[in-house]
Structure 1
Amino acid sequence: MNKLSLSSCPPPDLDVQVLVLAASSPTARTDRTSDPEAPAPVLLTEGVDTTGLELEALPALARELGFTGALDTVLRLPAQAVGPALRARSVLLVGTGQDLERSARTEDNDLSALGADAAAVLRRAAGRAARALAGTSSAALLLPAATDEELEAVAQGALLGAYAWREGPDPAPVDRIVVTTPLADSPRAVEAVHRAEALSEAVHLVRDLVNEPPNRLTPAVFAERAVELAGQVGVGAEVLDELDLADQAFGGILGVGGGSVHPPRLVRLSWAPQDAPAGTAADLALVGKGITFDSGGLSLKPAASMPEMKSDMAGAATVLGVVLAAARLGLPVRLTGWLALAENMPGAGAQRPSDVVTMYGGTTVEIINTDAEGRLVMADALARAVEESPRALIDVATLTGAQLVALGDRVSAVMGTPGLREQVLDSARAAGEAMWPMPLPEHLRSGLDSSFADLRNLPSSRAGGMLAAGLFLREFTAGTPWAHLDIAGPAYNDASAWGLTPVGGTGAGVATLLELLRRRG
């Protein structure tokens, strides 16, 4: 875990290797860096203690070296470029583009919904700087952090960006981070750091689990890891193995896992604050899809689509991380978490297209395509979760390729009961995550009708595939207020790193759900 501290000391007194400053783009077109007349980037110094720094010549120097202040760009300079009396050896400039200025002059809610309001930009800048500081022992972030919101955004971004897969080729993340702020000595600043640390620990766990090779993270291993981690923070955990699942008729999970030599598991987590009355219903049940590897089963995926399918358990990892973080923070919310774990393989026991399986609770489902497996394990877990009468229900899943078609690889979809859906979206805006509301059109429901069972697992038409999957899940919620998060694209970054997001597992959804729990507490 990276070490983060706060300081109100002026820059010359900071005992760190690198000082970090932020700069924005002055105009929309600053890509022509060879133009000597091009405007220089604008340093963000409002609310930042710049005592002892000589910054007058820095923007022009940065421009001459090709730095425009564009979003996610960085430039490293010797410390002498900003002052002779510094203990730091170098200065890092990180670009914020124009989103800070845009968010200040517009009331466009799309900016916050898509993770581009002022706090989100600061979070991203701090994370981008932390990524650039990999291999560095220590750094101080001289970013705007004069308000509670700014401070928490910078602290979160710094810790979230300071991540590296433990077995990857990248250098180790920066070990010690100092955030400079005039709020350094206030109790609310200490609390902000505590929340940022809990969030980053949860996100790093999700990233680690998603990045784990699937031959090492089988359903049984995932369940064992969940039980071990739960025990460390006072979270209850129980595991149903394949015999338990058969005894209790979890036909969806068993059907999906039948083709694998690694049998499925269902994990139930429970967290309640110490003063919660015994036996009362959970305030919220969280259900996560945990397909530890998805070959597509007999409806085999193309070879090119398989390598990232180790990430198909990201929903379960998210639920695990959120419940553990809620316990670490002592949030006053009663929670249950359900991890539906299976490996979807085309072995001898694999389910076939045209099979009919009986789900937990008795609903029958005709299997049209074995690659529409996530909704089957989720349906079993949802049906079991609502038996305990939670006040609300949220599921998280890398559920459909249609999500990527509709919203791309950085924006998650939110469906469900309108009131709860809006609570999730409000929390996403506050957490700086990009989520978008999607409907559940009733006319699509008939596409799930089957001539041989209560439901089909794939609709008769390809139109609105993401929405039809949400309608399928709704059948198992028993009228409980419910929200469905499809994080198929945002959960895994198979391109280059950006902002605070590394290559591989991203931890998408964790910040939103923790913010939602904080608001419901």
Structure 2
Amino acid sequence: MTALTLSTAGAATLRADALVVGVAKSGKELIVAPGAEAVDKAFDGRLAAVLETLGASGAEGEATKLPAPAGLKAPVVLAVGLGGAPEDGEAFGTETLRRAAGTAARALFGSKKAAFALPVAEADAVSAVAEGALLGAYAFTAYQEAGKDAKKPLAEVALLGAKPRDKAHKAAAERAQAVAEEINRARDLINTPPNDLTPVTFAAAVQTAGKEHGLKVQVLDEKALAKGGYGGILGVGAGSENPPRLVRVAYTHPKAEKTLALVGKGITYDSGGISLKPAGHNETMKCDMSGAAAVFSTVVAAARLGLEANVTGWLALAENMPSGSATRPGDVLRMYSGKTVEVLNTDAEGRLVLADALTRASEENPDAIVDVATLTGAMMLALGSRTFGIMANDDEFRSTIHEIAEEVGEASWPMPLPADLRKGMDSPTADIANMGERMGGGLVAGLFLQEFVGEGITWAHLDIAGPAFHEGAPYGYTPKGGTGSSVRTLVRLAERAAEGEL
């Protein structure tokens, strides 16, 4: 776990393995960003010129290392690009700072301590740089041989210019550390191989965290699910030797006036079931529990931040496997709500487990429900691999979540729920089918889920199929593998609830 400190020490006097500075493009010139004045002075005011000689352009995502001159205690200076310089009097955007800090932390993998001399005059900048550095320093190494020569992530981050006695700076850093660590918790769960992360072991991890953070945890095993009539969760898990679970994890505050319910899809491995996925589509399906991981981490973050809101997480956990006991295309499941569903495709399983959990969450009559899921490939076709879709039964709530996502730096886009697509899920055998029209498949899935939300309850659905798992090269603070997508948005939504804005 990377340590975070705030320091008023000068860049010239602080001992560290590296000093991180920001550079940006102003017209045709490369300029050094605020916060790095002492470093620039050590270069006789020629840091930007030296960097240009080395080919630096100041572009976002760029990182340039150079030896530190005499006068600096750190042996290395790392310049990270911030893109175009803002207009006079304006500050660099928080997402720009977050990504730059993440780029720096990744570039310094294996270092013990780095001092970040980036622009952190305001509390929101402190939060962004801290978040970016802690997220960028992430690495999943649990299954790699840990020899004495093995490199480890950056161990300590010192934010120069961030004042430990400034209440706003201190609060911003503490919040950033809690949120970043919970995002990294979600990443660890997503990256854990499915032979070790089953519904049972996932539930056990929630119970362990619950004891540590004072959360109330209830786990429904396969017997309790059968007794309660959770046909969706049981139907999806029927083909696996690893039985399903429904986990309720709740944080409550004595002064809370609002309750937010979060529902997460937790398919710990998705083979597609009898509707088996084709070759090349199975290798990353350990990530199909990313929604449940995000919900779990958000509830823990709410507890760590002491939010004056009640936040309840519902984790619908199952493993979708083909076997002689697996649900077949054509089978009819009776859901927890009492509705019957004709299963036309067993690879459309996420909506089945979510449906049961949504109905159960509705029974507690929360002020709002948000479900999170790696639900459809159709959403990736629509929005790409970095943007999640937002659907809702309330336009204002959908807009609020979109605004929050933009505020915290998560790419999202509001999507409709066209009523005309509902007819495609009509079934001659059951109340509804789990498949509808192929075109607009992500919207069809949202319409299916809406059927299981309690009457009069505000609800939104986040389809994080694209950004939940990153298969390309790392960038900014985004690693290869699990990303922890939507945690920042959900935490900020819980904060809004605590502020009475839900």
TM class by shorter-chain length?
Answer: over 0.9
In the alignment, which residue of structure 2 is the partner of 1:514? 491
Deviations 1:464-509 (A, max 9, x none): 1111100100001123100111000100001110110000000110
How far apart are 1:16 and its partner, in Å? 1.1
Distance 2:35 2:41 in 1: 16
Instruction: Please name the residue that 2:147 is paired with.
Output: none
Contact 1:47 1:146 in 2 (8 A): no
**Which secondary structure does the structure 1 equivalent of 2:386 belong to?**
coil
Match of 2:374 in 1: 398
8 Å contact 1:163–1:204 — kept in the other structure? yes
Q: 1:264 aligns with which of 225, 244, 247?
A: 244
Of 83, 95, 112, the match for 1:97: 83
2-side partners of 1:361 and 1:45: how far apart? 57
Task: Specify the SS of the correspondent of 1:14.
Answer: coil
Q: 1:77 and 2:54 equivalent?
A: no
Name the SS for the 1:305 alignment partner.
coil
**Which moves more between the two structures, 286-295 or 153-162?**
153-162
Aligned to 1:241: 221
2:421 match:
444
Distance 2:244 2:162 in 1: 52
Name the structure 1 match of 2:73. Answer: 87
Residue in structure 1 matched with residue 135 of structure 2 by the alignment:
160
2:52 maps to 63
Deviation, structure 1 residue 166 = 2.3
For residues 423 and 325 of structure 1, the distance between their equivalents in structure 2, rounded to whole angstroms, comes to 20
Unaligned stretches of 5+ residues in structure 2: 145-149
Cα deviation code 1:328-375 (max 9, x no counterpart): 111111121100000000011111111110110101111111100000
Counterpart among 169, 194, 208 of residue 188 in structure 2: 208
1: distance between equivalents of 2:378 and 2:46?
A: 50
Question: Aligned letter for 1:21?
Answer: V
Task: Tell me if the contact between 1:10 and 1:51 (Cα under 8 Å) persists in the aligned partners.
Answer: no
* 3-state SS in 1 of match to 2:83: coil
CA distance in structure 1 between the partners assigned to 2:35 and 2:275 by the alignment: 57
Whole-angstrom CA distance in 1 between matches of 2:286 and 2:38? 45
How much does 1:392 deviate?
A: 0.5
In the alignment, the residues of structure 1 paired with residue 418 and residue 89 of structure 2 have an alpha-carbon distance, to the nearest angstrom, of 36
**Offset of residue 8 of structure 1:** 1.8
The answer for the alignment partner of 2:178 in structure 1 is 198
Residue of structure 2 in register with 1:8 after alignment: 8
Deviations 1:381-411 (A, max 9, x none): 0001001111110000000001110000001
Q: Deviations over 1:178-229 (max 9, x none)?
A: 1112544201111111101110111010000000000000110100111111
Which of 387, 406, 418 in structure 2 is aligned with 1:429?
Answer: 406
Percent identity over the alignment is 47
C-alpha separation in 1, matches of 2:124 and 2:37: 15
Amino acid at match of 1:207: R
Q: Is the 8 A contact 1:49 1:142 kept in 2?
A: no
> 1:113: which partner in 2?
none
Aligned to 1:36: none
Quote how far apart the aligned CAs of 1:49 are. Answer: 5.7
Would the aligned equivalents of 2:274 and 2:346 in 1 still touch at CA under 8 Å?
yes
Q: 2: CA distance between counterparts of 1:520 and 1:419?
A: 15
Report how far residue 48 of structure 1 moved.
Answer: 5.9
How far 1:46 sits from its partner (Å)? Answer: 6.3
Q: Distance in 2 between matches of 1:422 and 1:390?
A: 19
Partner residue, 2:116:
141
For the residues of structure 2 that align with 1:49 and 1:272, how far apart are their CA atoms? 47
Of 345, 351, 356 in structure 2, the residue corresponding to residue 375 of structure 1 is: 351
State how far apart, in whole Å, the 2-side matches of 1:376 and 1:50 are: 57
> What CA distance in whole angstroms lies between the structure 2 residues aligned with 1:54 and 1:167?
41
Per the TM alignment, residue 47 of structure 1 is displaced from its structure 2 partner at its CA by 8.3
Distance 1:48 1:4 in 2: 22
CA distance in 1, matches of 2:51, 2:130: 26
Name the CA distance, whole Å, in 1 between partners of 2:243 and 2:37: 55
Q: C-alpha root-mean-square deviation of aligned residues, in Å? A: 2.0
Aligned equivalent of 1:316: 292
What code does the residue aligned with 1:447 have? G
